[in-house]
Amino acid sequence: MREVAGPRLREEPQARPREAAAPAAGLLGTGQRLRRARGAVRLEFNRYPDRVARSAHIPREILLAFYKDDYRRLRPLVGPDVALVFHDQFELEAWNELLPTERYDNVVIDTHQYLNFSEWGFERYDLDEYLARLGEFSERVRDAARYHPVMVGEWSIANHSPLKKSFGERDRRLFNRALADAQIEAWDQGIGGCYWSYRVDDPRRSEWSLRTCVAKGWVDMHCGTGDR
């Protein structure tokens, strides 16, 4: 199966403006706007800590009722050929019984699987440990996909391995490439996945940038597609 992000991803050429205009005064770049927004959130939290809190966990029964109501309302509107996508609430196996296929047809389960959030129990943080964990992911996706198609809606090669500090350019490329290939093969047990995210300009977070990963040879978008 082909990775959802796809090897054909490329930047669309920008249309040439009819008239060259000077940038509007005070126009901020995306990075600067985001930094200001984060600063405003931190300021609000520091000033009013009692007003800012993490959202509470949504009980499964509430989410299930929401999904079922969505399905009931949307299916007649979009028809039987349009897939309806529901997030798994980080409980991938639970939806096999909660949304039985005989009543909820053409439903895709969206799951988010991140290496850097699944390093529990690691001792060495070496490639063998990561590949073993990805083997577990692959089995979970394959088992769940027997009931509904599974899409890994978010994944990346980002990880906390301390070994990276000692890697040269070649070793880092081989390490990251192995992680990426194993993940793409695992997600192909379902209908593929979407890398998070396409572009990150911060060089300290280059593993989160698909464009950078492809340019550096860390991710091969043909892996798992049979195009090699």
pLDDT at 216: 97
In this prediction the pTM is: 0.74
Residue 136 lies in a domain: yes
Dihedral of CA atoms 112, 76, 74, 90 in degrees, nearest 10, equals: -30
Q: Are 130 and 165 in contact (CB under 8 A)?
A: no
Residue 100 lies in a domain: yes
Residue 43 lies in a domain: no
Residue 164 lies in a domain: yes
> pLDDT tens for residues 148-187?
999 999 999 999 999 999 999 999 999 999 999 999 999 9
Residue 179 lies in a domain: yes
Residue 17 lies in a domain: no
pLDDT at 177: 97
Residue 9 lies in a domain: no
Tell me the CA distances in angstroms from 40 to 29, 33, 165, one per residue in order: 17, 11, 33
Domains of the chain: total: 1
> pLDDT tens for residues 50-67?
766 667 788 999 999 999
Q: Give the CATH number, domain containing residue 80.
A: 3.20.20.80
Mark residue 44 as left, alpha or beta (left: phi above 0; alpha: psi -120 to 50; beta: remaining).
alpha
Q: What is the mean pLDDT of residues 82-93?
A: 96
- 5 pLDDT above the threshold of 60: no
Q: In which band, very low, low, confident or very high, does the pLDDT at 1 lie, cut at 50, 70 and 90?
A: very low
Residue 28 lies in a domain: no
Q: In which band, very low, low, confident or very high, does the pLDDT at 223 lie, cut at 50, 70 and 90?
A: low
- Structure-model confidence comparison of residues 17 and 124, the more confident one: 124
pLDDT at 65: 96
Residue-range definition of the domain harbouring residue 129: 59-215
> pLDDT tens for residues 109-157?
999 999 999 998 999 999 999 999 999 999 999 999 999 999 999 999 9
